[in-house]
Amino acid sequence: MDRLFFENIRCLRCDHALAYLPDVRDLGSLDSAGQELWRSPVGMGGRTYRLCENYSRENVCNWAVAAEDPNPLCRSCRLTRVIPDLMKGSNKEVWYRLEVAKRRLVYGLLTAGLPVESKVDDRERGLAFDLLHGRCGFAEDRLSTPGNQLAQEALISRLIRAEVSAAIRDAV
C-alpha cells in the first residue's frame, strides 16, 4: 500500500498530480482541465482549481486555489509577507521548509475551526508571516545537514506556533 504525505505533489504509485484542496480539507488527485485549471476526478462535483502560484512557479507549495478566487496564492501562502532572500545560498530550501511548517499550522487552525485571515484582509486580527532567514538562531549551512533536519523543522514549527498563539491571544 502506497502512502501519501501532506507535502506530496505526485502520487508515488500512479504519478497523478496532487494538491491539497482547502475547501474540502483533502489531498486530492488532479486532472488537467485546460488553461492552467485542474479538476479532481474523485467526487468534488466538477469543481475546478488553479495551483497556488508558489506551487506552479516556485515549487514551494502544494495547495490549490478555487478557480474563481482572484488571488493567485493559496490561503496559506497569502499569509506570508516576507520570504528569505532567494539570491543567497540555500534560502530557497529554507523558504520551502518554513512554508511546510506554516502549511501544517494553517491546516491545524482550519481543522480546529479557527479563523485564518491575512493582515491584508483583516488588519486588526489577521495573520502575517515574515520568514526571515537567520532569525531562528541557526546558521544557513546547518539547515542543509540531514541529521539536523527534523530538529530544525520542529524548531521552525514551534516558532510559527508561538507567533500564531501570540496573535490569537492578542486578538481575544
All cell numbers assigned to 159: 516558532
C-alpha 5 chain-centroid distance: 13
Task: Report the alpha-carbon distance of residue 131 to residue 10 in Å, rounded.
Answer: 26
Locate the DSSP E strands across the chain: 17-21, 26-34, 37-39, 48-51, 64-66, 80-82, 129-130
> What strands lie across the sheet with 17-21, from one edge to the other?
17-21, 26-34, 37-39, 48-51, 64-66
Tens digits of residue pLDDT in 4-30: 787 877 888 888 888 898 888 888 888
Would the pTM count as exceeding 0.75?
A: no
Tens digits of residue pLDDT in 81-140: 988 888 888 888 888 888 999 999 999 998 898 989 999 999 998 999 988 766 544 434
